[in-house]
Copies of this chain bind each other. A is one copy, B any other.
Amino acid sequence: MNTLLSRLLKLEADRNNQHCAAAAVDEDGYDLWLRYLPLAQTRLKDVEDCVRAFVFGAENPTLTVARDELERAFFAMLVKCVPVREGGGISDGAVLVGTPDSLPVIADLDLSLPELGKEGYRVRSLIHEGKRVTAIAANTDIGVLYGCFAFLRHIQTGGDPARIDISSAPKVELRLLNHWDNLDGSVERGYAGFSIWDWWTLPDYVNRRYIDYARANASIGINGTVLNNVNAAPEILTEAYLAKAARLADIFRPYGLKVFLSVNFASPSALGETATSDPADPAVQAWWKDKASEVYRWIPDFGGFLVKANSEGQPGPGDYDRSHADGANMLADALAPHGGILIWRAFVYASDAGTDRATEALNEFKPLDGTFRNNVLLQVKNGPIDFQPREPFSPIFGQITKTPLVMEFQITKEYLGQATHLAYLGPVFEEVLKFDTHARGPGSTVSEIVKGKTFPHPVTGIAAVANIGTDRDWTGGTFNQANWYVFGRMAWDPDETAAAIAEDWVKMTFTCEPGFVSTVVEMMMRSPETLVNYMMPFGLHHQVATGHHYGPGPWVSELDRPEWNPTYYNRADKDGIGFNRLADGSNAIAQYSPEVQALFADPHALDERYLLWFHHVSWDFPLSSGKTLWQGLAERYDAGVAETARMIDIWDQQRAHVDGQRFAQIRTFLEIQHREAQWWRDACLAYFSAVAQRPLPEGHKQPAHALAHYREIHHCHAPGNPA
């Protein structure tokens, strides 16, 4: 049931002066931030005065979904129908929706549309011919749809419709979700159930979820989606699956959402249609050209291919002694005639097991910079390792200058407590985007590079691994919805703040009640640091259990490849701990500009949150606090656990503001997080205490169990880790 039902039930109950249990309604989270909560009586009249009629002009699929969204939303918020007029005159309370082409009157208004480009919008309340009207205007239909969602957000977050004047245009061109969804319905690193793509009933059956997925993405400006896992099954390029993908593209098109596909580099030979997949082989080149043409016959506005090659066992041009550029360019040439782009992932490592994994991507791609076709983009994870709760930015940002870079974030919380831990990723994204690479002097932030300002390129992009699944609330927990939301908002404008976006999200997802909003926003903003404290204090990274990455495994050292082992990263022994990435170590620090090197080079001067990322220091290393590292570690772990307990107390005080079902789920998840924070703290301190051959610092409780207990914990069928 949903909030509209709840409001209507209360209306009925009130009419009968009744208040019964049956009128209490829970929310299941399906509506995400598009709940369109009926407005409080105090706001009703102001909004009604400004929204007496919607005026649309020419019809087309995108304007139709815009109209449906406005009708539906205001019916729910006002609990009455707002009439829709096809064109016609100006009147008080008219909401004029369209482009100068679709609704000519738009051209007569003072909206300075040209500067908004092809996706921007202007939503403005103004007096025209003596009437109070609201314009939702843009140069394109999709801009209009984005404007409608901006108008709705303004109302949902308590804005005054009579004072609205919002202009916005995206600062990044490609704003993409990457689904790591497999064709069998499993989702790699998925913690919200299974894949929402029901490949089996496609292309015949259109699940309502496909439409609501497109609505949600359009509401935050996401304009592209890669449907399948980067560990790609060759079958995705067969006719049967292209027909299925084409049906999804048809559904998504009115919402401005383009379909992309991950492809397996060895597809032609894996499908048995060529003898090899060597990019130098003319038959292979011809196969890809034909395949690209076939894809565009199915999906005329197809976005392009995403490729993970020669990484973690995936095939690639290296299998034939060809370079990443040779492979990428072959695919780019096949896509170019159709206007398609080729996104090549920079996530590669262990070409040589001896080198520091953190350095390998740049080592691999630096020599190739400048050799890629101009429709090739390089997709780079935010940090040099792998989506850790905290990483310094990847040195590729700043060092690769001739190839457009697509930022790759991870929304799904593979390393941040998965479904149940509360970790708002806004501050994590923000920390990376605001980092100054100094690549072209001060102000060369990662954000400026992603926006194509520092090194101009014809196309810019930002992507993130989705956390979406079949769970009713889409993301396996209400607070996980905030991470989908903040990614969309930051992809549109990387300079927006995590706090401001969290505030909008909280108001739309729960309530605008000021005390609740400020309390919950603060809890969200603190959440990643809380998690860092109990998982990776002082920059200690990749300390996770094997395979499913669920829970602590700092002792793991027996995996085939050295850089898969937590011990490779913690380097903990009797004398000290941390990964020396200075000149006398792996020298990974040399991949950064001198200004950035200066930030991290001195263990006594750097931001201690990165201490063990760059330095190997003794257990007695003196921290700025005057405490030793060993004392500091124990303090951080304890602080993380204490903060999770505090989150439970904070949440318990919010009961009055949240429906029973969502309140209870969040409460349960916070309890799990607290229990598991304790587990992380106890397991890590037990292990480090053993290798350091020293007891816990004074004043810190012994772990609940002996080290052996934590080493023996195994999990059966952990989610997100398909065989």
Contacts and interface: CB of A to CB of B under 8 A. Distances in A.
A587 interface: no
Nearest to A199: B717
A669 B201 CA distance: 9
Interface size bucket, A side? 35 or more
Interface string A79-90: 111010000000
Contacts of A669: 205
A448 interface: no
Interface string A1-39: 110110011011100101111110010100000000000
A52 interface: no
A560 interface: no
B200 A23 contact: no
A193 interface: yes
Nearest to A476: B201
Interface centre among A11, A12, A470, A472 (most CB of B within 10 A): A12
Given A1-B2, A2-B5, A470-B193, A717 B184 contact: yes
A11 B9 CA distance: 11
Contacts of A718: 200
B75 A23 contact: yes
A208 B716 contact: no
A682 to B, nearest CB: 19
A240 B716 contact: yes
A75 B205 CA distance: 34
A506 interface: no
A568 B183 CA distance: 33
B16 A81 contact: yes
Contact of A81 (B18, B200, B664, B668): B18
B22 A672 contact: no
B22 A71 contact: yes
Interface in A203-225: 204-206, 208
A194 interface: yes
A717 B183 contact: yes
A197 to B, nearest CB: 11
Nearest to A20: B81
Interface in A57-104: 68, 71-72, 74-76, 79-81, 83
A571 to B, nearest CB: 33
A661 interface: yes
A454 to B, nearest CB: 43
A671 interface: yes
A185 B81 CA distance: 44
A193 to B, nearest CB: 7
A419 interface: yes
B200 A668 contact: no
B200 A194 contact: no
A200 B672 CA distance: 12
A665 interface: yes
Interface string A694-723: 000000000000000000000011110001
A23 B4 CA distance: 11
B716 A75 contact: no
Nearest to A418: B200
A570 interface: no
A212 to B, nearest CB: 11
A5 to B, nearest CB: 4
A173 interface: no
A420 interface: yes
Nearest to A671: B204
A165 interface: no
Contacts of A241: 716
Given A21-B68, A22-B71, A205 B717 contact: no
Contacts of A671: 204
A235 interface: yes
A19 B84 CA distance: 12
A693 to B, nearest CB: 33
Given A1-B2, A5-B8, A201-B419, A208 B81 contact: no
Given A2-B5, A28-B208, A672-B204, A717 B75 contact: no
A362 to B, nearest CB: 37
B665 A205 contact: yes
A723 B184 CA distance: 10
Interface centre among A9, A11, A68, A240 (most CB of B within 10 A): A9
Nearest to A4: B5
A57 to B, nearest CB: 18
A81 B194 contact: no
Given A22-B74, A23-B81, 13 more contacts: A1-B2, A2-B5, A5-B5, A5-B8, A8-B9, A8-B12, A13-B81, A16-B80, A28-B208, A183-B716, A201-B419, A204-B671, A206-B664
Interface of A: 1-2, 4-5, 8-9, 11-13, 16, 18-23, 26, 28, 68, 71-72, 74-76, 79-81, 83, 183-185, 193-194, 199-201, 204-206, 208, 235, 238, 240-241, 419-420, 470, 472, 661, 664-665, 668-669, 671-672, 716-719, 723
Shortest Cβ-Cβ A-B pairs, 10 listed:
A22-B75, A20-B81, A8-B8, A18-B81, A22-B71, A5-B5, A184-B717, A22-B72, A205-B668, A16-B80
8 contacts: A1-B4, A4-B5, A21-B71, A23-B81, A185-B717, A201-B419, A201-B420, A208-B661
